[in-house]
A and B are shown apart, each in its own frame.
Chain A
Amino acid sequence: MNEPLTFQYAVDGDNFTSAGQASVQVKKVLRRLGLDPETIRRVSIAMYEGEINMVIHAGGGEAEVRIYEDSIEIVLRDSGPGIADIDQAMQEGFSTAPDNIRSLGFGAGMGLPNMKRYTDSMQIESTVGVGTTITMRVDL
């Protein structure tokens, strides 16, 4: 099997205005590869939600995108506070976002549900005090 095309990005935890840059880069790459618009849209939104979560809830982290022949894998890794109750976090409407973040339009508690909706598989591994790793896959 061919090695996947791999892209890595550092996600800055302090810079809210540039949040989303990794996702925007990935979108450009997928466009250049000629993937269909709906697939690009699903990957872009799922990754952006995860990227924003790392900025808001975990002080940044790193993103890796692997493009295989038949799927795209997105791995988001952070050393933030971790998620104590993953089932609760996955519920639509659950959010611990602070007010200053809510005033920007985030904090609806819809990010993780969107990531699940737009991908074919999603795994969350999280340890309180250690960090969170989210792996998502979109089939081509």
Chain B
Amino acid sequence: MTVANLAALDGMRALTCPEPEREIGGVYIGDLLSWVMGRAKADDAWITIMTNINVVAVAALADTACIVLAEGVAPEQAVLDTAGAKGVNILQCGRPIYETALLLHENL
């Protein structure tokens, strides 16, 4: 499934999607950034509720396919602008983290 396919699912919304054709290889869930860098794999969809600017750098350097913000949390516009410029996809899901993960599980 590509990031664009994921963004099109009911309940998902693309906040910025500069690399829509990226393939999603798996899923990692976490809010502690060093855990994410240590455990997430390249091409994972990363589910989190962290929205500060540092998540963009982490996603770029860890080479995840996209960030999925669960619980309907939203970053500031400046974060979205930076993500867009750095090629980092950010989606938003209004559901709780567990349901967000299930949605991915059912569609991967």
- Residues of A at the B interface (CB closer than 8 Å) are 16-17, 19-20, 23-24, 27, 37-38, 40-41, 44-45, 48-49, 104-111, 113-114, 117
Interface size on B, residues (CB 8 A): 20
Top 10 A-B residue pairs of the complex, sorted by shortest distance between their CB atoms: A110-B34, A20-B57, A108-B32, A44-B61, A105-B33, A114-B38, A108-B34, A105-B50, A45-B37, A111-B34
Task: Name the residue on A nearest B36 (C-beta).
Answer: A105
Which of A105, A108, A111, A114 contacts B54, CB < 8 Å? A105
Decide yes or no: A104 and B62 within 8 Å by CB, A49-B34, A110-B34 being known contacts.
Answer: no
Given pairs A41-B42, A110-B38, 13 additional interface contacts (CB within 8 A): A17-B53, A19-B54, A24-B57, A24-B60, A37-B42, A37-B63, A45-B37, A48-B37, A48-B57, A48-B61, A105-B31, A105-B52, A110-B37
Collect the chain B residues with CB atoms within 8 Å of residue A17's CB: 53
Q: How far is the CB of B24 from chain A (nearest CB, A)?
A: 16
Q: How far is the CB of A122 from chain B (nearest CB, A)?
A: 14
A106 to B58, CA, bound (A): 11
A37 to B42, CA, bound (A): 9
**CB–CB B35/A20 < 8 A:** no
Q: How far is the CB of A40 from chain B (nearest CB, A)?
A: 8
**CB–CB B86/A24 < 8 A:** yes
**CB–CB A106/B33 < 8 A:** yes
Q: How far is the CB of B107 from chain A (nearest CB, A)?
A: 25
- Residues of B at the A interface (CB closer than 8 Å) are 31-35, 37-38, 42, 50, 52-55, 57-58, 60-63, 86
Collect the chain A residues with CB atoms within 8 Å of residue B53's CB: 17
Collect the chain B residues with CB atoms within 8 Å of residue A114's CB: 34, 37-38
**CB–CB A49/B63 < 8 A:** no
Q: How far is the CB of A11 from chain B (nearest CB, A)?
A: 13
Task: Name the residue on A nearest B31 (C-beta).
Answer: A105
Task: Name the residue on A nearest B86 (C-beta).
Answer: A24
Collect the chain A residues with CB atoms within 8 Å of residue B35's CB: 108, 110
A108 to B61, CA, bound (A): 18
